[in-house]
Amino acid sequence: MMIQQTKTQDAAPRFGRLDADLTEVESAIVRSREYLLSRQHPDGYWNGELEADAMLEADYIFLHTLLESGDPGRLRRALTEMMRYQNEDGSWSIYPGGPGNLSLSVKCYSSAKLMGIGGDDPRLAKCREWVLAHGGVVECNTFTKMYLCALGEYDYDAVPAIPPEIVLFPKWFYFNIYEISAWSRSILVPLAIMYAKKPFKRIPSEQGIDELFVGGRANSILRLRRYRKSFVSWRNFFIILDRLMHWAEAVHIRPLRKLALKRAEKWLLARLEMSDGLGAIYPAMLNAIIALRCLGYSEDDPQVIRARDEFEKLGIEEPANDVMPEPTFRMTPCASPVWDTAQAVFALGEAGVARNDPRLLKAVDWMLSKEVRHKGDWAVKVPNTEPGGWYFEFNNEFYPDTDDTAQVLMALNKVDNPRERYQHQVAERAIAWEFAMQCRNGGWGSFDKDNTKMIFQYIPFADHNAMLDPPTVDITGRMLEMLAGYGYARGDKRVEKAIQFILREQEPDGSWFGRWGVNYIYGTFLVLRGLEAIGVDHLEPQIQQAAEWIRMVQNADGGWGETCGSYDDPNTRGVGISTPSQTAWALLGLLAAGDDRSDSIAKGVRWLLQRQQADGSWDESLGEGKLRQGIITGTGFPRVFYLAYTLYRQYFPLLALTSYRRTMERAKSF
């Protein structure tokens, strides 16, 4: 399925200088507010579904095939869900409208065959043709190859080595596991156990994928092993090191393997506690289940049962409906209740919900109950800091992050809690933790401090492009907005250092890169909000240049949009069909830059008003019937994995309209 997302070229109706009437804006705010409140869980939180690509269903089928487990009916429904995302050219994409992705396409092809679809099926024949035209299986990433090895469809010797001995490196050593990103850490440690134990399940030949190797499987892998000599570089150094490790594997020179596996097992078990599965994210949870079985844990061992239960909780059963005549089953990559609750409370507070409203108080009390009070991986680099802050999911005590923590702190500021003293103490702890996590260059990463050693991107198994967690301007912008709400200003050296980091990172055209949202629109709006809140003058050239960039990329219909393709080609930044969330971001950025009178503002507000539905919500989907998909505006790992946050389209437009109303009312008072 290919859904085109390109900048609108057709002329759209012009509204001239017709600003929306404030009574119309107020009506839209009230409807939006009530809709968002209706989505609150009885326990006080919000949790919108996270949508991703077909990898989740493909890997689900792989896991249960390998372990000979799973409900047959659910697996068939997962297959139905996976197949509906296939593109017309036979491939699968990591975001709607994007190009085919080789690793994902091979996974889906393999999973379809595991479920009994024959290679002569027209859908698989078309996929096979596409895969072969793009280099075949040997061009897939390491994670895909590791899963294929477990089914006997690839050779462990031809996969980049992931030795469990990495967990033995001391924390002061340059190459220790705490120098890679938290998410890669939680994925790679169980994967290293798998590499050491080399699980293997022989599948019937008719379920194999030998036909996806260009020139045949044996020839393809042989060519892969012949590493070509070239100039000296870190990549070549690691390739040679990888070959040496494979040689050591082959001749069983592994003096530390037993100790390494024990250490990896201990690391894994510790992080299964106080969490919704390892790292509370799909790939780490899946790998952990396999790793436990590789270590000899039985099916009925409590650790395996709990790991499986947490994994299966990510599944959603969808009955047959007008859109899909067959029932389907899909997996979500994780849950997002802390993030959604913090965003919803902040937007509702800005929209005028009373500071003592029982619904907001319930939400705040729920968030306070999720405060982190144990030291996690982050403490390796900041050992003398008291735990504080929040994570993203329901439970993930080892991995609080700076972005969720900043947003929760902003939400707490919108409520008058009867437990005022306790809430103040929690906030003070969290702010102290945030400052301790500030990186040397003034910015903030998400889970770790100074996670910036670029050498790790050259490691052969690092081809998933997500080994590091460097400081980013989007998180830093939100941090400034939060700190301003708690009385911090430019006189604080830490704040000024953050401002200078942001200003250094501005792109030549005035925009800022968005690491955690798609993409430059997201980064730019958060920076402008942060700089305004902390007191940077609107008239500064860098602020006005950013505002002009936002106006320049506005679509003819009055909205804004940008696709995940801008991560691959920065020349397409700000290009895409208009969406409610990205239109809201653009408006918030312009308002933060002091623009309250341009045609861009008027058209953007009108775009949101005209597309609000009767129940107060906004839709952010494309396609009809079986082809219907949510538009991706969230980022997991740039160029690798993307997310559709289904509540972004609700609380961000509400925040934008509220900010517009406040700005216009303030302008009228002068």
The residues that are catalytic are 403
Label residues 438-470 b or e (16+ Cβ within 10 Å = b). bbebbbbbbbbbbbbeebbeebbbbbbebbbbb
Q: Give residues with Cβ within 8 angstroms of 116, minimum separation 6.
A: none
Q: Give residues with Cβ within 8 angstroms of 480, minimum separation 6.
A: 495, 498, 499, 502, 530, 531, 533, 534
First and final CA of the chain: distance in angstroms? 53
Nearest residue to 146 (alpha-carbon basis) of 186, 198, 220, 212: 198
Side chain identity at residue 660, one-letter code: Y
Orientation of helix 580-592 relative to helix 599-611, angle to 10°: 150
Q: What H or E segment, with its residue span, contains residue 629?
A: strand 629-630
CA distance 41 to 35: 13
User: Tokens 């302008």 identify what position?
Assistant: 667
Distance set, CA 616 to CA 19, 59, 247, 624, 663 (Å): 21, 37, 63, 22, 22
Nearest residue to 58 (alpha-carbon basis) of 75, 73, 39, 71: 75
CB atoms within 10 A of CB 63: 20
Residue 385 · residue 316 · CB < 8 Å: no
Orientation of helix 122-133 relative to helix 102-114, angle to 10°: 150
Please state the three-class secondary structure of 500-534 as a single string. Answer: HHHHHCCCCCCCCCCCCECCHHHHHHHHHHHHHHH
User: Tokens 């690491």 identify what position?
Assistant: 515
CA distance 602 to 609: 11
